[in-house]
Each structure stands twice: as C-alpha cells, then as structure tokens.
C-alpha cells in the first residue's frame, strides 16, 4: 500500500452507464491528480487539484468530471464513455504542487473497460 | 520541463547489473533528475532522485556526470521482479511557483530473463 487507495480496482461499464472512480489519501497531502494511461502509451495528466480547487484541466472531454470534496478524497465521474476511454486511471497526491524530493505518491489505479 | 530521451527497451538476465541511461541535454540549473518504476497495472513508484555526482539508496544508484546532460540509473543484480518500466524525469522539484507537474515519457521497458 502506498497510502493512496483507489476503488474499484477494475470496472467494466457500458457506453451509456454512469460510474465514479474514487481516490483516497491519508498522507496529509494537499494536491491530488488524475492520470490516464492507455495501452502502450505514456501517462497523460488529466486534472490537478490543489487545496480542493481545480488548477488544471488538460483538455479532457466533458464526459470525465472530477470532484474534490476535501483534500483527502478525489473522484472521477464518468458518463457516456467511448471504448477508446478504456485505460488505467491513476490517482496521485503530493505535498504542494511540486515534485518535492519524493515526487508524487500514486495509487494502484482503476482498470476501466468500456464496452 | 527538460525533455528526456531513454531507450525504449532493454533485456537483461537475473543477477546482472543493469544500467539505463537517460539524456537530458537541456537540463536547467535548478532541475533535479528523478527516476520512477512502474509495474504492470500499478502506479509509478519513486526510485531515486539526484542533482549531481552519485546518489545511492537501498534500491539503486544514480550516476550524474559533471555536465548533467545525462544520467544513468544502475540496478545491481536484478531479479525477475525488477521487470518493469523505468521513467527518467527532469525538472525543478521546488516548482518555482509553477505547478511542477510530473510529465512522463515512454520510459524504458526492462525485461529480466531467468
């Protein structure tokens, strides 16, 4: 366990479904991130939250909707996804919006399959 | 963030020392060099970070020449469990007021064979 917990670990959803991914950290960090990793591709930064405010949205389609109710929790709400959205979705946290000397702490990810 | 270049893949055998070199010709004065390891279906994990010369921890060593335009991650006596993707990242770890975002490249896929 890294201190960043993601649920569920695996998710299969239809294109018309609505689902949510959850991320929780108890490291006392105040910044949280969503990354997407498609097969054979580098990690893509999707959203950045600092002190529960969204500070970056990297041109992500509106079918992905993040929510950060407090500094310990981050959600990614999904609706009307496409098969190409199938990927590993990774959550990370950090103390401040910097790498620090230990970078980000990542969760184990949610493997999403859209059918 | 400075661009990095590293080999796409490497093969090794159990018990060997593995050296993965990363080029970062445009590294800035305030930039640090950080390496991450990622196993399949898991998030990346911090391995080691350095600024210059040599850094060693319980997992790996990082060699950085004086010009800092490259760095080499050294994994001693690898085992099958070291099969993973290794990412080299370069940037200002204090952020300098900017979001010091971790931007990952393709990484190096290390395959350790028995």
Other beta carbons within 10 angstroms of residue B106's beta carbon come to 16
Taking an 8 Å cut-off on Cβ atoms, the answer to whether A2 and B43 are in contact is yes
Structure tokens at B77: 């006596």
Res. A100: pLDDT tops 90: no
Q: Which residues of A fall below an 8 Å CB-CB distance to B?
A: 2, 4, 42-43, 45, 48, 50, 55-56, 88, 90-92, 96-109, 111
What confidence score (pLDDT) does residue B102 get?
74
Are the CB atoms for B7 and B25 separated by under 8 Å? no
pLDDT tens-digit profile of A15-32? Answer: 989 999 999 999 999 899
B67 CB-contact burial (10 Å; exposed 0-12 / middle 13-18 / buried 19+): exposed
Res. A58: pLDDT tops 80: no
CA distance B73 to chain A (A): 16
Are the CB atoms for B49 and B34 separated by under 8 Å? yes
CA distance A68 to chain B (A): 18
Closest alpha carbon within chain A to B109? A40
Which residues sit opposite B46 in a β-bridge? B36
DSSP A84: G
Give the pLDDT mean for A79-83: 94
Radius of gyration of chain B (CA): 14
pLDDT tens-digit profile of B81-92? Answer: 999 999 998 887
Taking an 8 Å cut-off on Cβ atoms, the answer to whether A103 and B49 are in contact is yes
Q: Which residue has the higher pLDDT, A75 or A99?
A: A75
pLDDT tens-digit profile of B19-77? Answer: 999 999 988 888 889 999 999 889 999 999 999 999 999 999 999 999 999 999 999 99
Task: State chain A's mean pLDDT as an integer.
Answer: 91
Question: Which candidate, A86, A5, A14, A92, places its Cα nearest to that of A46?
Answer: A92
Which residues sit opposite A88 in a β-bridge? A37, A111
Res. A79: pLDDT tops 90: yes
Taking an 8 Å cut-off on Cβ atoms, the answer to whether B49 and A90 are in contact is no
Tokens 């990774």: give the residue.
A90
Residues of B in contact with A48 (CB under 8 A): 99, 101
Give the pLDDT mean for B8-14: 97
Residues of A in contact with B100 (CB under 8 A): 97-99
B80 in contact with chain A, both atoms CB, cutoff 8 A: no
CA distance B74 to chain A (A): 18
Give the pLDDT mean for A59-73: 93
Q: Which residue has the higher pLDDT, B94 or A22?
A: A22
């Amino acid at each position: 366990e890294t201190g960043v917990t993601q649920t569920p670990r695996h998710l299969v959803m239809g294109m018309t479904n609505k689902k949510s991914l959850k991320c929780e950290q108890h490291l006392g960090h105040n910044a949280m991130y969503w990354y997407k990793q498609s097969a054979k591709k580098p990690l893509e930064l999707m959203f950045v939250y600092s002190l529960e405010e969204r500070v970056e949205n990297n041109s992500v389609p509106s079918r992905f909707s993040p929510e950060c109710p407090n500094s310990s929790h981050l959600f990614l709400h999904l609706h009307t996804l496409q098969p190409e959205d199938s990927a590993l979705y990774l959550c990370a946290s950090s103390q401040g919006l910097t790498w620090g000397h230990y970078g980000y702490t990542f969760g184990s990810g949610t493997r999403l399959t859209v059918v | 963030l400075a661009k990095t270049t590293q080999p796409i893949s490497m093969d090794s055998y159990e018990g060997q020392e593995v050296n993965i070199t990363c080029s970062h010709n445009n590294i800035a004065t305030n930039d640090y060099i950080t390496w991450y390891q990622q196993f399949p279906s898991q998030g990346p994990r911090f391995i080691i970070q350095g600024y210059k010369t040599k850094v060693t921890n319980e997992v790996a060593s990082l060699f950085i020449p004086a010009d800092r335009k490259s760095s080499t991650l050294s994994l001693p006596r690898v085992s099958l469990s070291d099969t993973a993707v290794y990412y080299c990242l370069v940037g200002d770890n204090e952020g300098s007021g900017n979001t010091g975002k971790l931007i990952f490249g393709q990484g190096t896929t290390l395959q350790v064979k028995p």
